[in-house]
C-alpha cells in the first residue's frame, strides 16, 4: 500500500463522516425532522440575537442541524441507490454489447446515443412531471439516465479487452457469454469503473439536489439538501444563513468524494502505465 | 594510441522497484560495466531481456528510461564526462554527437508529419545545416540506405511506407546530423527475416560509408556478428565476455556464450507418417468480412497424429489466417477441414464441445493470452472443470500434475501471470492447452517473443510432450531455425498460397523455388561474412521492398 496523499486523506475523512452521519442519522439528530422548536430563521452566525441551536432554524422554525442530518441520510441514500442502478445496468449492458458486437451492439449504442443527445435534466423533468414522484421512481429515473454514461465507459473499456488473446482463448474453449463477461472482462475492467463510480455518485448527488431545488425531487415531509436550499432561499434576501448551510454541504460532499475518486484514478492509471508490475 | 570516442568506466545503474504489497526499494540493475569504443568501430551489446543492454546503450546519452538512474561510474564521450554535463550540455550532446535508433520505427515516428520533416528535425534544431543542406543530406542518405526514389521518399507519411523502409528512414534520421556515435537498439528485431537482411545490409553499408561509430544492441548473436567489430555479452547487468567478433563466435570462453552460439542445435529427425491424418485441410479459401481479397488461396495440407507441421512465411503470408480458419474464428468461403475423421463446421458456434477440446491453441504473446486477474491454478484448472467436470481436490491434483509436466514444480499454482517470467508464462499456456487432452495444438509463433535460450527450452519441452502425449502440432513461425529443429513436414506460404509443401527433408533439399530460396538464405547464420555471401548469391528481392 503506497502512502495516501494529504488531499485523498481529507477526502476520505470527510466522505467517511458524511456516510457515518447518513447511517446513524436517527441517533445523531437532536430533534425530529418536522418538529418545530423555535422562531423562524434564527441565525447563529452573524445576527445580534444569538440562537440556542447550532445551525439555527429554518423557514418554519425547525432545527436546521436535525434537518441537515436527516437530509444527509436521504441525499446519500438516494445517490447511492441511483449509482448502484446506473452501474449494474450500464456496465452489464456495456460489456454485453462489446462481447456480442454486430447489430446488437449497434442498436444498443445508438439508443444510448439518442438518450445522451437529450439534456438529462430536461428529460428527467419531463418524466417526473408526468409520474408520481416517490423515492423508488426517483432512484430508477436518475439511475437509468446516468447509466447511459456508464454504458459508454464500460463498452469502451470492454472493447479493448474483448480483442485480447485470453478472451479469444475462452471463446475457442467454448465458454458462454456469461463467463466471458463476468470472469474474463469484469475483473480487468474494474479499476477504471471504480474510479468512475466516485464521479457518478457525485453527479447523482448534484442531480437529486437540482431536482429537489426545482421541486420535482424529494417531496415534503421528507427533506433533502437540495429541497432545503429551496425552502430557505427567500431568507437570503434578509441575510439569513439557513440556505447556505445545505449548499455548502453539497459542495463539501462533492469535493471530498472527488478527491478520493481522483486518488483511485491516479493509482489505477499508474498501474496500467507501469512496465509489468 | 587509437582514437577513443566512447569510454565507459565502471558504470552502475539503479532503479526503484515497486513489489506488490511491499515498500518500494532501490535495486542495482547494472553492476559496474566498462568498455571502450574507437572512432568508426561497431560494438555489439548482446544479452537476453533484462540483461541491461538497452539501459547501458542509453547511458551513452546519459539517459535513464522509465525511472532508471545512473548511480555510479563515468561515461566519456570525446573526452568529456557526460554524466557531469548538466542539462544544457546534454542537450548539445544528444542528437548532435550521439543519436539513437529505436526498435519499433512504427511507434517512434509521428504519424501526422512527413518523413522528411522528422528526418531533418534534429539537424535543424541544432543549427548544423540550413534546411536545403539538411534535405540534400537526407536524400543522399536515403539513396545510401537503398530506399526507393530517394528524391521523393521524404514526401511520404510514415504509414505510406513499409516497416523495413521506416526502420531505414530512422537510421537516416540518426545519421543526418553527422554524429560521432549512433546507438542502434534492436533495429531489426521487429522485422521479417527477409526484410531484416536488407535493413541489416543497409545499416552496415551506411556505417562504413559515413565512418560513424555505433553501439549495436540485440539479442540475436547471429545478427550482431554480421555488423560488429567487437562484441560484449551481458547477463544480469554484468559483463560475461568481451572480445572481438571472431573470438566470441569461434572460441567462446564462457559457458553462457557457448550456449548462445550453439542455441539452434536441437536435433530432430523427420518421423514417417503412420496413421490416418488427424487434420486435413482441403482447398481452403478465406477472406475477411467486407473485403474482396482472398487472404488464403486454395490451401491444402495434412497433418498426421504425433507429428509437427511447420507453416512458415513472412508477415502477411496468411499463416496465422490459416490457424484462424482451422479454429473457426474465420469461416472459410470454400474448401473443407477434416479433424479426427469428422468434418469441422465452418463457424465456431456450430462446433461440438469435443472438437473444441481436441483442438487447442498456444499464442505468441503469453502475456495477453492469460487473464492477468486469474491465478495459474484458475488458468490451467478452467479447461479441466469445463471439459471434464473436475472440481476441488481432483482438479487441484491434476493442475499440479500438469505443472510438473511443464517442469515448473510446486509453488506456482497461486501466482498471477505478472509474477512469472516470459518462459514460465509460455509454459503455463502450454499446460492450459494440454489440460484439454487435445489431439492437435496450434502453436502460433510461440517462441518469437522469447530470448533464444528460453525459446530453445520451450521447443525441447514441446518435443518431449509430443513423445509422451502423442499430440500433433501445427507450428506457425517465421523462424526457419526453429522449423529445422522441430518439424516433420513443412508448408512454405507466400501471399496466401502454399508455395512448397512436403516432408522436412524434401522441402529443405534443393532445387528450391525462388521464394523458398530467399527465405532460407535470409536466416542469419553464426558465421563471419555470411551477410556479404548471401547478398551476392540471391535470386529474388524481398517482397517488403
Domain limits, chain B: 4-261, 279-509
Domains of chain A listed by start with CATH number: 6-271 (1.10.3720.10)
Pairing of strands B68-77, B80-81: antiparallel
- Give the C-alpha distances (Å, rounded to integers) separating B138 from B124, B175, B243: 12, 9, 34
B338-395 pLDDT per residue, tens: 888 888 888 888 888 888 899 999 988 888 889 888 889 999 999 999 999 888 888 9
The mean pLDDT of B513-541, rounded to a whole number, is 76
The mean pLDDT of B492-521, rounded to a whole number, is 84
Q: Which residue has the higher pLDDT, A182 or B524?
A: A182
Mean pLDDT score of chain A, rounded to an integer?
85
Contacts of A171 in chain B (CB under 8 A): 329, 348
A136-155 pLDDT per residue, tens: 999 999 999 999 999 999 99
- Give the C-alpha distances (Å, rounded to integers) separating B421 from A33, A174, B267, B516: 62, 28, 26, 35
Contacts of B432 in chain A (CB under 8 A): 169
Nearest to B216 by CA among B32, B226, B73: B226
Does domain B4-261 match CATH 3.40.50.2000? Answer: no
At A210, the pLDDT band (50, 70, 90 cuts) reads very high
Answer whether A169 sits within 8 Å of B327, measured CB to CB.
no
Cell of B186: 534492436
Nearest to B314 by CA among B448, B502, B453: B448
Q: Say what the pLDDT of residue B220 is.
A: 82
d(CA B182, CA B57) in angstroms, rounded, equals: 10
B416 contacts chain A (CB < 8 A): no
The mean pLDDT of A209-230, rounded to a whole number, is 87
B1-31 pLDDT per residue, tens: 467 888 988 888 888 777 655 667 788 888 8
A–B interface: beta-carbon pairs under 8 A: 53
At A103, the pLDDT band (50, 70, 90 cuts) reads very high
d(CA A90, CA A96) in angstroms, rounded, equals: 10
Are B75 and B81 in contact by the 8 Å Cβ rule? The answer is yes
Answer whether A188 sits within 8 Å of B353, measured CB to CB.
no
Answer whether A173 sits within 8 Å of B363, measured CB to CB.
no
d(CA A109, CA B223) in angstroms, rounded, equals: 50
Q: Say what the pLDDT of residue A41 is.
A: 74
- Give the C-alpha distances (Å, rounded to integers) separating B33 from B7, B23, B55, B412: 11, 28, 11, 34
Q: Which residue has the higher pLDDT, B50 or A161?
A: A161
Nearest to B471 by CA among B428, B431, B413: B431
Mean pLDDT score of chain B, rounded to an integer?
85
The mean pLDDT of B214-222, rounded to a whole number, is 87
Contacts of B20 in chain A (CB under 8 A): 277
Q: CATH says B279-509 is which class?
A: alpha beta
The values of phi and psi at residue B172, to 5°, are -60, -40
Residue B542: pLDDT over 60: no
Are B478 and B313 in contact by the 8 Å Cβ rule? The answer is yes
Q: First vs last Cα of chain A: how many Å apart?
A: 14
Question: How many angstroms from the chain centroid is the CA of residue A248?
Answer: 17
Residue B63: pLDDT over 60: yes
B438 contacts chain A (CB < 8 A): no
A174 contacts chain B (CB < 8 A): yes
Q: Give the CA radius of gyration of chain B.
A: 25
Identify the DSSP state of B526. S
Contacts of A188 in chain B (CB under 8 A): 371-373
The mean pLDDT of B72-97, rounded to a whole number, is 86
Nearest to B220 by CA among B475, B447, B518: B447
At A111, the pLDDT band (50, 70, 90 cuts) reads very high
Spatial CB neighbours of B501, under 8 Å, sequence gap ≥ 6: B301, B489, B490, B491, B492, B507
A267 contacts chain B (CB < 8 A): no
Whether B4-261 and B279-509 share one fold: the answer is yes
Helix-then-strand count for chain A, H and E: 11, 0
At B429, the pLDDT band (50, 70, 90 cuts) reads very high
Q: Say what the pLDDT of residue A150 is.
A: 92
CA-CA-CA-CA torsion sign (B349, B350, B355, B359): negative
d(CA B306, CA A4) in angstroms, rounded, equals: 57
At B289, the pLDDT band (50, 70, 90 cuts) reads confident
At B506, the pLDDT band (50, 70, 90 cuts) reads confident
- Give the C-alpha distances (Å, rounded to integers) separating B328 from B287, B351, B436, B444: 13, 8, 18, 15
ipTM of the complex: 0.73
For cell 484448472, what's the residue? B381
Residue B539: pLDDT over 70: no
Q: At what angle do helices A6-23 and A244-273 cross, to 10 degrees?
A: 130
Cell of A20: 457515518
The values of phi and psi at residue B289, to 5°, are -60, 135
Answer whether A166 sits within 8 Å of B370, measured CB to CB.
yes
Q: Which residue has the higher pLDDT, B465 or B192?
A: B465
d(CA A276, CA B19) in angstroms, rounded, equals: 11
Identify the DSSP state of A236. G
Give all strands of the β-sheet with B80-81 in edge-to-edge order: B25-38, B4-17, B68-77, B80-81
Q: Say what the pLDDT of residue B265 is.
A: 62
Largest CA distance in chain A: 78
Q: Say what the pLDDT of residue A268 is.
A: 62
Residue A87: pLDDT over 70: yes
Answer whether B370 sits within 8 Å of A188, measured CB to CB.
no
d(CA A215, CA A210) in angstroms, rounded, equals: 9
Percent of chain A surpassing pLDDT 70:
93
For cell 535495486, what's the residue? B27
Cα torsion through B114, B117, B120, B121, rounded to 10: -130
Q: Which residue has the higher pLDDT, A52 or B109?
A: B109
At A50, the pLDDT band (50, 70, 90 cuts) reads low
Answer whether B369 sits within 8 Å of A165, measured CB to CB.
yes
Residues composing chain A: 277
Q: Say what the pLDDT of residue A147 is.
A: 93
Q: Say what the pLDDT of residue A255 is.
A: 92
Residue B516: pLDDT over 60: yes
CA-CA-CA-CA torsion sign (A92, A98, A99, A100): positive
Q: Say what the pLDDT of residue B266 is.
A: 64
Q: Which residue has the higher pLDDT, B269 or B181?
A: B181
Answer whether B386 sits within 8 Å of A274, measured CB to CB.
no
Are B207 and B214 in contact by the 8 Å Cβ rule? The answer is yes
Nearest to B4 by CA among B73, B69, B60, B64: B60
Q: Say what the pLDDT of residue B502 is.
A: 85
Are B102 and B170 in contact by the 8 Å Cβ rule? The answer is yes
Contacts of B365 in chain A (CB under 8 A): 165
Q: How many CB atoms lie within 10 A of CB B263?
A: 19
Helix (H, G, I), strand (E, B) or coil at B493: strand
At B543, the pLDDT band (50, 70, 90 cuts) reads very low
Answer whether B18 sits within 8 Å of A171, measured CB to CB.
no
Q: Say what the pLDDT of residue A273 is.
A: 39
d(CA B352, CA A176) in angstroms, rounded, equals: 14
Q: Give the CA radius of gyration of chain A.
A: 22
Beta strands in B82-196 (DSSP E): 98-101, 181-185
Are B35 and B210 in contact by the 8 Å Cβ rule? The answer is no
At B540, the pLDDT band (50, 70, 90 cuts) reads low
d(CA A151, CA B349) in angstroms, rounded, equals: 27
Percent of chain B surpassing pLDDT 90:
12
B369 contacts chain A (CB < 8 A): yes
Answer whether A173 sits within 8 Å of B329, measured CB to CB.
no
Q: Say what the pLDDT of residue B260 is.
A: 80
Are A69 and A25 in contact by the 8 Å Cβ rule? The answer is yes
Amino acid at each position: 500500500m503506497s502512502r495516501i496523499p494529504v488531499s485523498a486523506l481529507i477526502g476520505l475523512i470527510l466522505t467517511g463522516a458524511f456516510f457515518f452521519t447518513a447511517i446513524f442519522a436517527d441517533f445523531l439528530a437532536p430533534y425530529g425532522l418536522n418538529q418545530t422548536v423555535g422562531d423562524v430563521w434564527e441565525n447563529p452566525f452573524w445576527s445580534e440575537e444569538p440562537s440556542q441551536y447550532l445551525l439555527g432554524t429554518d423557514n418554519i422554525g425547525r432545527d436546521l442541524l436535525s434537518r441537515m442530518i436527516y437530509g444527509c441520510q436521504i441525499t446519500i441514500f438516494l445517490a447511492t441507490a441511483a449509482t448502484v442502478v446506473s452501474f449494474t445496468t450500464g456496465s452489464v449492458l456495456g460489456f454485453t454489447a462489446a462481447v456480442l458486437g454486430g447489430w446488437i451492439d449497434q442498436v444498443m449504442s445508438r439508443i444510448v446515443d439518442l438518450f445522451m443527445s437529450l439534456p438529462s435534466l430536461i428529460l428527467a423533468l419531463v418524466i417526473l412531471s408526468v409520474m408520481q414522484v416517490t423515492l423508488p421512481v426517483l432512484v430508477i429515473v436518475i439511475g437509468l439516465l446516468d447509466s447511459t454514461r456508464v454504458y459508454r465507459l464500460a463498452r469502451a473499456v470492454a472493447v479493448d479487452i474483448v480483442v485480447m488473446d485470453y478472451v479469444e482463448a475462452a471463446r475457442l474453449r467454448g465458454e458462454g457469454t456469461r463467463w466471458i463477461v463476468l470472469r474474463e472482462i469484469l475483473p480487468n475492467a474494474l479499476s477504471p469503473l471504480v474510479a468512475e463510480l466516485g464521479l457518478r455518485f457525485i453527479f447523482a448527488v448534484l442531480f437529486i439536489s437540482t431536482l429537489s431545488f426545482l421541486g420535482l425531487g424529494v417531496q415534503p415531509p421528507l427533506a433533502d439538501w437540495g429541497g432545503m436550499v429551496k425552502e430557505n432561499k427567500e431568507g437570503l434576501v434578509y441575510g439569513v444563513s439557513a440556505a447556505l448551510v445545505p449548499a455548502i454541504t453539497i459542495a463539501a460532499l462533492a469535493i471530498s468524494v472527488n478527491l478520493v475518486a481522483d486518488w483511485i484514478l491516479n493509482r489505477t492509471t499508474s498501474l496500467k502505465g507501469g512496465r509489468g508490475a | 594510441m587509437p582514437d577513443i570516442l566512447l569510454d565507459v568506466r565502471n558504470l552502475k545503474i539503479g532503479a526503484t522497484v515497486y513489489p506488490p504489497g511491499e515498500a518500494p526499494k532501490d535495486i542495482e540493475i547494472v553492476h559496474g560495466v566498462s568498455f571502450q569504443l574507437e572512432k568508426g568501430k561497431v560494438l555489439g551489446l548482446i544479452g537476453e531481456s533484462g540483461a541491461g543492454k538497452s539501459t547501458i546503450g542509453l547511458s551513452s546519452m546519459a539517459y535513464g528510461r522509465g525511472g532508471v538512474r545512473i548511480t555510479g561510474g563515468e561515461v566519456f564521450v570525446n573526452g568529456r564526462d557526460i554524466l557531469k554535463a548538466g542539462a544544457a550540455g546534454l542537450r548539445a550532446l544528444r542528437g548532435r554527437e550521439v543519436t539513437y535508433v529505436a526498435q519499433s520505427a512504427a511507434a517512434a515516428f509521428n504519424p501526422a508529419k512527413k518523413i522528411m520533416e522528422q528526418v531533418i528535425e534534429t539537424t535543424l534544431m541544432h543549427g548544423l545545416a540550413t534546411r536545403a543542406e539538411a534535405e540534400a543530406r537526407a536524400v543522399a542518405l536515403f539513396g545510401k540506405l537503398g530506399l526507393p526514389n530517394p528524391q521523393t521518399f521524404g514526401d511520404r507519411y510514415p504509414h505510406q511506407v513499409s516497416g523495413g523502409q521506416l526502420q531505414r528512414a530512422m537510421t537516416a534520421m540518426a545519421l543526418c546530423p553527422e554524429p560521432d556515435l549512433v546507438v542502434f537498439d534492436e533495429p531489426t528485431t521487429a522485422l521479417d527475416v527477409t526484410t531484416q537482411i536488407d535493413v541489416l545490409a543497409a545499416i552496415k553499408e551506411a556505417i562504413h560509408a559515413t565512418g560513424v561509430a555505433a553501439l549495436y544492441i540485440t539479442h540475436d548473436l547471429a545478427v550482431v556478428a554480421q555488423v560488429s567489430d567487437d562484441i560484449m555479452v551481458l547477463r544480469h547487468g554484468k559483463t560475461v565476455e568481451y572480445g572481438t567478433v571472431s573470438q566470441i563466435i569461434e572460441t567462446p570462453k564462457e559457458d553462457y556464450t557457448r550456449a548462445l552460439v550453439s542455441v539452434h542445435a536441437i536435433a530432430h529427425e523427420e518421423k514417417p507418417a503412420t496413421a490416418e491424418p488427424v487434420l486435413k485441410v482441403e482447398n481452403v479459401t478465406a477472406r475477411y468480412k467486407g473485403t474482396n481479397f482472398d487472404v488464403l488461396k486454395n490451401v491444402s495440407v495434412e497433418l498426421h497424429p504425433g507429428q509437427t507441421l511447420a507453416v512458415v512465411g513472412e508477415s502477411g503470408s496468411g499463416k496465422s489466417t490459416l490457424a484462424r480458419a482451422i479454429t473457426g474464428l474465420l469461416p472459410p468461403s470454400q474448401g473443407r477441414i477434416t479433424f479426427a475423421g469428422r468434418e469441422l463446421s465452418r463457424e465456431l458456434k456450430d462446433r461440438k464441445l469435443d472438437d473444441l477440446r481436441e483442438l487447442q491453441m498456444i499464442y505468441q504473446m503469453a502475456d495477453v493470452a492469460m487473464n492477468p486477474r486469474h491465478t495459474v491454478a484458475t488458468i490451467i484448472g478452467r479447461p479441466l472443470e469445463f471439459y471434464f467436470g473436475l472440481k476441488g481436490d481432483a482438479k487441484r491434483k491434476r493442475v499440479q500434475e500438469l505443472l510438473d509436466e511443464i517442469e515448473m514444480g510446486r509453488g506456482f499454482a497461486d501466482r498471477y501471470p505478472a509474477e512469472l517470467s516470459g518462459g514460465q508464462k509460455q509454459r503455463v499456456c502450454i499446460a492450459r492447452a494440454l489440460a484439454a487432452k487435445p489431439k492437435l495444438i496450434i502453436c502460433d509463433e510461440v517462441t518469437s517473443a522469447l530470448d533464444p535460450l528460453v525459446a530453445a527450452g520451450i521447443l525441447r519441452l514441446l518435443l518431449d510432450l509430443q513423445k509422451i502425449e502423442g499430440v500433433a502440432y501445427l507450428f506457425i513461425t517465421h523462424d526457419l531455425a526453429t522449423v529445422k529443429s522441430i518439424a516433420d513436414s513443412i508448408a512454405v506460404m507466400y501471399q496466401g498460397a502454399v508455395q512448397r509443401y512436403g516432408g522436412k527433408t524434401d522441402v529443405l533439399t534443393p532445387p528450391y523455388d525462388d521464394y523458398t530460396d530467399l527465405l532460407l538464405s535470409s536466416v542469419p547464420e553464426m558465421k563471419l561474412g555470411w551477410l556479404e555471401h548471401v547478398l551476392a548469391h540471391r535470386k529474388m528481392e524481398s517482397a517488403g521492398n
